[in-house]
């Protein structure tokens, strides 16, 4: 009889942890760093000073650029309003009536830096016709010329006689 024997399957083996490698025996202890010489120390100091100066210069440059950008942004937003105000001020000073600002190209009154160009504004405003006053200018308390004697200088009795004689009424 033949007996078949089953052979069991091999069991998986657990991974073997790597054995810690032992460092090789030091042949000689490491040498400590050598101190710098005086000239090397001066060179190192100079290098650090140059680096600090460059860093300060770049920070100042960056701050100036940021300030310029902020000024440009403010002028771009407020520039037309400043120009309009300068136009109104100059027109009032010259005694002329300014056209509606909606119809004016306000950017032609701006300087290169975005601020109002006072010369261009003055040139434009002086080219406008002078406006006439709506009412005639009266000379204060003076009586307008109309003929006859001035009542302001009359004696009260003469004025009463004039009124009684129906000359005024």
> What does pLDDT average to in each consecutive run of 10 residues of the chain (169 residues)?
58 59 65 85 94 93 92 85 90 87 84 86 88 62 53 77 68
Query: Which DSSP category does 73 fall into?
Result: H
Q: Which residue in this structure is represented by tokens 């399957």?
A: 9
pLDDT for the residue 115: 85
pLDDT for the residue 52: 94
Q: What six digits make up the tokens of 33?
A: 């760093």
pLDDT for the residue 63: 92
Instruction: Report how far residue 80's alpha carbon sits from residue 119's, in angstroms, rounded to the nearest whole number.
Output: 16
Contact 151, 143 (CB under 8 A): yes
pLDDT for the residue 73: 87
Taken in order 145, 148, 154, 160, is the CA torsion positive or negative? negative
pLDDT for the residue 56: 93
pLDDT for the residue 160: 80
Contacting residues for 30 by C-beta, under 8 A, at least 6 apart: none
């Amino acid at each position: 009889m033949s007996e078949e024997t089953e052979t069991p399957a091999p069991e998986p083996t657990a991974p073997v942890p790597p054995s810690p490698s032992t460092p090789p025996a030091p042949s000689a202890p490491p040498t400590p760093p050598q101190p710098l010489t005086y000239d090397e120390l001066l060179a190192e100091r100079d290098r650090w000073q140059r680096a600090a100066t460059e860093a300060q210069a770049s920070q100042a440059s960056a701050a100036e650029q940021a300030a310029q950008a902020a000024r440009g942004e403010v002028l771009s937003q407020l520039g037309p309003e400043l120009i309009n105000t300068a136009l109104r001020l100059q027109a009032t000073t010259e005694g002329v009536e300014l056209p509606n600002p909606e119809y004016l190209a306000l950017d032609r009154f701006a300087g290169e830096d975005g601020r109002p160009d006072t010369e261009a504004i003055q040139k434009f405003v002086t080219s406008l016709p002078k406006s006439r006053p709506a009412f005639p200018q009266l000379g204060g308390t003076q009586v307008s010329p109309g003929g006859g004697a001035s009542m302001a200088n009359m004696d009260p009795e003469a004025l009463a006689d004039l009124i009684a004689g129906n000359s005024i009424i």
